[in-house]
Amino acid sequence: MGNKISLEKTKEFIMIEKKKIAIGTVILMLLAATTLIGGGAYVVNKVLEESGDSALVKIDPKQPVLINLNWESGEGVLSKKKIDLDLGCLVELIDGYKDVVQPLGKRFGSENKPPYVFLDKDDRSGESPDGENMSFFRGDKIKRAVIFTTIYSGADSFQDITNGRLTIKQEGNIDIIVILNDLDSKGKNLCSVAKITKEKDGLRITKEERYFKDQGDCDEFYGFGFEWSPGKKD
């Protein structure tokens, strides 16, 4: 009888501990998806997981919209290689001006003149703690943009990459996080991660995660109308 009571108590204790673990996991997930904003208040970030999910960033012309790309190598054969994953965008302003911002061709954009989009660096290894960063300095002038990432070297497909995520930030707003989780992309080296479109109250961020062979195929799909030619980095 004593053994039975002891066993029942043990089972009860295990159930309580499992509940504690589950609650702890939820708390950790919430902490990972929160941002400290003005007034010391924590808010839950907006995570876009499924293609078509969207969120609105209210436009403050005095505050840039910051876009960060970060990733890790996968667990496969290529995991020991340094993967050069580039951040770029196709952008159209409300006056009709169009441009491409990307490391290839050293098209890093500009802060003070069209396209008012600037790419800070080319992280060729993925080892930079803050990945690659792009800033939209005049969100009020943006008509539409497509944020994309390309594999320049070190991987055969996006299946060799884990924890790929795009984070969109603006001071005073919650972060918008776009998760790359549909990596069926064999033979395709470009992913359009998110689409930005102007609305009355701000910029609409929509998760795309569409895979293309290259920039030309992506451009044809979204209809920007650029002329493309092969290129490489120095």
Q: What is the pLDDT of residues 116-168, one digit of tens each?
A: 999 986 554 445 556 779 999 999 999 999 999 998 777 777 877 778 889 99
H helical segments located in 115-225? 215-222
Question: In this predicted structure, what is the pLDDT of residue 80?
Answer: 45
The residue range of the domain holding 64 is: 46-222
What whole-number distance in Å separates Cα of residue 128 and Cα of residue 159?
21
Question: In this predicted structure, what is the pLDDT of residue 184?
Answer: 67
In a domain, 40, yes or no: no
Question: In this predicted structure, what is the pLDDT of residue 5?
Answer: 45
Question: In terms of domains, do 17 and 133 share one?
Answer: no
Question: In terms of domains, do 71 and 23 share one?
Answer: no
Question: In this predicted structure, what is the pLDDT of residue 77?
Answer: 37
In a domain, 37, yes or no: no
What whole-number distance in Å separates Cα of residue 1 and Cα of residue 152?
68
Question: In terms of domains, do 92 and 4 share one?
Answer: no
What whole-number distance in Å separates Cα of residue 63 and Cα of residue 66?
9
In a domain, 234, yes or no: no
Question: In terms of domains, do 5 and 108 share one?
Answer: no
In a domain, 171, yes or no: yes
Residues in the chain with pLDDT values less than 50: 1-3, 5, 7, 10-11, 13-14, 17-18, 20-21, 24-32, 37, 39, 41, 76-80, 124-126
Q: Which candidate, 49, 27, 55, places its Cα nearest to that of 169?
A: 55
What φ, ψ does residue 123 adopt, rounded to 5°?
Answer: -85, 105
Q: Cβ of 114: how many Cβ atoms within 10 Å?
A: 15
- Return the structure tokens found at 176: 């918008």
What whole-number distance in Å separates Cα of residue 115 and Cα of residue 130?
23
Output the CA angle 183-185-186, nearest 5 degrees: 130
Question: In terms of domains, do 77 and 186 share one?
Answer: yes
In a domain, 4, yes or no: yes
Give the torsion sign (CA, 109, 112, 116, 121).
positive
Spatial CB neighbours of 115, under 8 Å, sequence gap ≥ 6: 91, 93, 97, 99, 101, 109
pTM of the model as a whole: 0.77
Q: Cβ of 112: how many Cβ atoms within 10 Å?
A: 8
Question: In this predicted structure, what is the pLDDT of residue 159?
Answer: 79
In a domain, 112, yes or no: yes
Q: What is the tally of structural domains in the chain?
A: 2
Question: In this predicted structure, what is the pLDDT of residue 231?
Answer: 66
Question: In terms of domains, do 133 and 168 share one?
Answer: yes
Question: In terms of domains, do 64 and 175 share one?
Answer: yes
Question: In terms of domains, do 194 and 87 share one?
Answer: yes
- Give CA separation, 86 vs 31, 44, 48, 101, 202, in Å: 28, 28, 21, 11, 26
Question: In this predicted structure, what is the pLDDT of residue 12?
Answer: 53
In a domain, 230, yes or no: no
Question: In terms of domains, do 54 and 28 share one?
Answer: no
- Return the structure tokens found at 150: 């390309």
Question: In terms of domains, do 116 and 160 share one?
Answer: yes
